[in-house]
Structure 1
Amino acid sequence: MNAITIVTLFSALSFLFYGLSCLTSKRMTLEFKRFGLSKQQQMLTGILQLVGGIGLAIGYYQSQILAAISAAGLALLMLLGFLVRLKIKDSLVLSAPAFMYALLNIYLALRFFNVLN
């Protein structure tokens, strides 16, 4: 198993986990309230995380363009999450995971779009 496989599967599994958590967890509901976001925005976020995670996993094995689009969408989602955390003045420690997932998925998108070799 090479590094790109590990990174792709790590990201895909992370978003599957967080997407399900976003849709079912009371803790996530409290977090979204703290972020100033609605229940509908929470549900949309969870669905987008699930779709992105599934697209990344399937795309890795079946369609490079699907993997690229999924990674780009997840990167955008995480950049927006990072900005929300900055807006509510979360600490760097609390904000860093969103930023790191954004960078990770930007890297994956660039790899799958063949911008990076």
Structure 2
Amino acid sequence: MKQTEILGLFLAFSFLIFGISCLFAPKMKKEFERYRLADKRRLTGILQLLGSAGLFFGIYLSAALSLTASAGLALLMLFGVIVRIRIRDPWPAVLPALFYALLSAYLFYDLLDF
């Protein structure tokens, strides 16, 4: 298994868990209220699940699907970083979103065929 596939699977499983949590966990409902984005929680969860599915299926079916999913997830997590900075979260709280944004962006870059 290549490094790209391992990273893709790691991100796919992570965003599967994040998406389910975003849709169903009461803690996430409170977090989105704290972010002042309660109306965007379901959309965020659905986008995370779609990104996860794109990575899972893209590994075996289409590099273009993985490329699109990784770009979308990188953007989604970049917005997450921006939101946490905007609400003045401490840096340790910003780091997980930044970590996933960078990993998703790296996967996107790695999948580009130069």
Normalised by the length of structure 2, the TM-score is 0.96
The RMSD of aligned alpha carbons is 0.9
Counterpart in 2 of 1:76?
75
Unpaired segments ≥5 residues, structure 1 = none
Counterpart in 1 of 2:3?
3
Deviations 1:41-66 (A, max 9, x none): 00000000000000011011110000
Q: Distance in 1 between matches of 2:47 and 2:93?
A: 21
Counterpart in 2 of 1:14?
14
Counterpart in 2 of 1:96?
95
1:38-77 superposed matches below 5 A: 38=38, 40-77=39-76
Structure 1 residue 2: deviation in Å?
2.9
Q: Distance in 2 between matches of 1:62 and 1:22?
A: 27
Does the 8 Å contact 1:15/1:53 carry over to 2?
yes
Instruction: Report the residue type matching 2:8 in the other structure.
Output: T
Unpaired segments ≥5 residues, structure 2 = none
Deviations 1:22-52 (A, max 9, x none): 00000000000010112x3000000000000
Instruction: Report the residue type matching 2:27 in the other structure.
Output: R
Counterpart in 1 of 2:86?
87
Q: Distance in 2 between matches of 1:60 and 1:41?
A: 28
Structure 1 residue 71: deviation in Å?
0.1
Q: Distance in 2 between matches of 1:96 and 1:69?
A: 24
Does the 8 Å contact 1:15/1:52 carry over to 2?
yes
Structure 1 residue 8: deviation in Å?
0.8
Deviations 1:61-85 (A, max 9, x none): 1100000000000000000000000
Which consecutive segments of 4 or more residues in structure 1 shift more than 3 A? none
Does the 8 Å contact 1:22/1:42 carry over to 2?
yes
Q: Distance in 2 between matches of 1:106 and 1:114?
A: 14
Normalised by the length of structure 1, the TM-score is 0.94
